[in-house]
Amino acid sequence: MNDTEISLLKQIDHANIIKLKEIIVSRPNKRNLFRGSTFLVFEYMDHDFAGLFKHKNKFALPETKAIMKQLLEGVAYLHRNKIMHRDIKSANILMNDDGCVKLADFGLGRKVRFENFFTYKVVTLWYRAPELLLGCKSYTDKIDVWSLGCVLVEFFTGEVLFRSKTYPI
């Protein structure tokens, strides 16, 4: 968690993005070595898709379409508001028992700036767009769309599309 993440979460208000309910800050004291802690409280969601895929949950085509529609609506909202998530993966996609899907974990999220120069070491390796793999430091919100495509493949195969233990460059 960082200040940028908290700032982004305070700005975001969409049905398909996790809601920050409260921020709790503890005071520095002897027990925490005089370093206070910050706790973010989010709305409760029942599942993440990494866990569902790990347990071999299969989704019918109509379910997959409904899930992807919600994800696309959330990501479109972010992009309209000049925000890149930069870490879309199945573990950061949550769902409750009512079928509501929400995007979570904005630790790598950034506002799009005019110059768009960022670190290329973002997005979990298996979901990383080609331009990031090639070391490009100037990229757009299209990297989120690539990651969504990788997630979509997981729905159909139950496996990560580009599983690797090594960095290609």
Q: Where are the domains of the chain?
A: 45-157
Give the DSSP letter of residue 126. G
The question of whether 141 is a catalytic residue gets the answer no
- What average pLDDT score do residues 135-152 get? 88
Q: Identify the CATH class of 45-157.
A: mainly alpha
pLDDT at 53: 87
- Look at 7 and 125; give whichever has higher pLDDT: 7
pLDDT at 119: 60
Q: Which is catalytic among the residues 3, 13, 48, 87?
A: 87
pLDDT at 56: 84
Instruction: Please say if the pLDDT value at position 167 is more than 60.
Output: no
d(CA 22, CA 58): 34
- What average pLDDT score do residues 46-71 get? 93
pLDDT one-digit tens code per residue, 88-130 = 999 999 999 999 999 999 988 988 876 665 665 666 678 888 8
pLDDT at 79: 95
- What average pLDDT score do residues 67-94 get? 95
- What average pLDDT score do residues 143-166 get? 84
Mean pLDDT of the chain: 87
Using a 10 angstrom Cβ sphere, with 0-12 exposed, 13-18 middle and 19 or more buried, the burial of residue 132 is buried
What count of other Cβ atoms lies within 10 Å of the Cβ of residue 145?
Answer: 15
